[in-house]
């Protein structure tokens, strides 16, 4: 078993971590990822990133384990009395249509947390990416979903693919975070542990 483990079964996170050119393996943490009662989207992302790392570290205590999680939150711009709602993975075409229709012309915040656990000591970071969706027609939504089939992606889009065409703007300190793993913050945490990218 490699000394560095990504606690994830996500092909997106695996592809992102491969960019750093550090040998690693993937182990699924197999957790219940449902939110706790009254848990904010940000707190949920932070908790799950930590729990994923801890779950895998129990089986591989000598390894350095990376856990990450992302939670998307729809924040309606033109509604004063509407509380934000969490957007999960749609799972099918109809739910994806509903999600993208709700996001049309709105702001979505993506909370992407990462925890690196080594020797029982956690190091954690959080990236908040704000995506402003442009106004989308039903035809645009249908065309996009048929092209990208993003049914396993929170928010029903793939930012690394055609999904970027749905946006009006993105505010982020780390563009990789929107795809699922904040590589800038992760690279710094790994350097702090003398694990050098490249």
Contact predicate 130/160, CB 8 Å? no
Query: Which one is catalytic: 69, 127, 148, 174?
Result: 69
Phi-psi region of 119 (alpha: psi -120 to 50; beta: other; left: phi over 0): left
69 part of the active site: yes
Which of 170, 171, 176 has the alpha carbon at shortest distance from 14? 176
Contact predicate 117/55, CB 8 Å? no
Element holding 192 (H helix, E strand): helix 183-192
Tokens standing for 119? 């020797």
| Active site amino acids | 69
């Amino acid at each position: 078993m490699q000394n560095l483990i990504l606690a994830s079964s996500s092909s997106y996170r695996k592809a992102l971590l491969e960019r750093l050119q550090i040998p690693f393996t993937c182990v699924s943490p197999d957790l219940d990822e449902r939110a706790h009662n009254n848990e904010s989207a940000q707190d949920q992302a932070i908790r799950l990133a930590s729990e994923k790392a801890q779950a895998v570290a129990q089986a591989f205590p000598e390894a350095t384990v990376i856990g990450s999680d992302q939670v998307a939150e729809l924040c309606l711009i033109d509604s004063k009395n509407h509380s934000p709602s969490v957007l999960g993975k749609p799972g099918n075409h109809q739910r994806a249509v509903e999600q993208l229709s709700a996001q049309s012309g709105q702001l979505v915040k993506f909370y992407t947390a990462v925890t690196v656990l080594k020797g029982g000591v956690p190091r954690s970071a959080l990236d908040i990416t704000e995506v402003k969706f442009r106004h989308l027609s039903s035809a645009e939504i249908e065309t996009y979903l048929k092209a990208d089939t993003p049914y396993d992606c929170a928010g029903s889009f793939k930012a690394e693919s055609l999904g970027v065409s749905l946006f009006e703007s993105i505010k982020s300190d780390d563009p990789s975070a929107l795809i699922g793993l904040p590589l800038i913050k992760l690279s710094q945490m790994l350097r702090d542990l003398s694990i050098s990218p490249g």
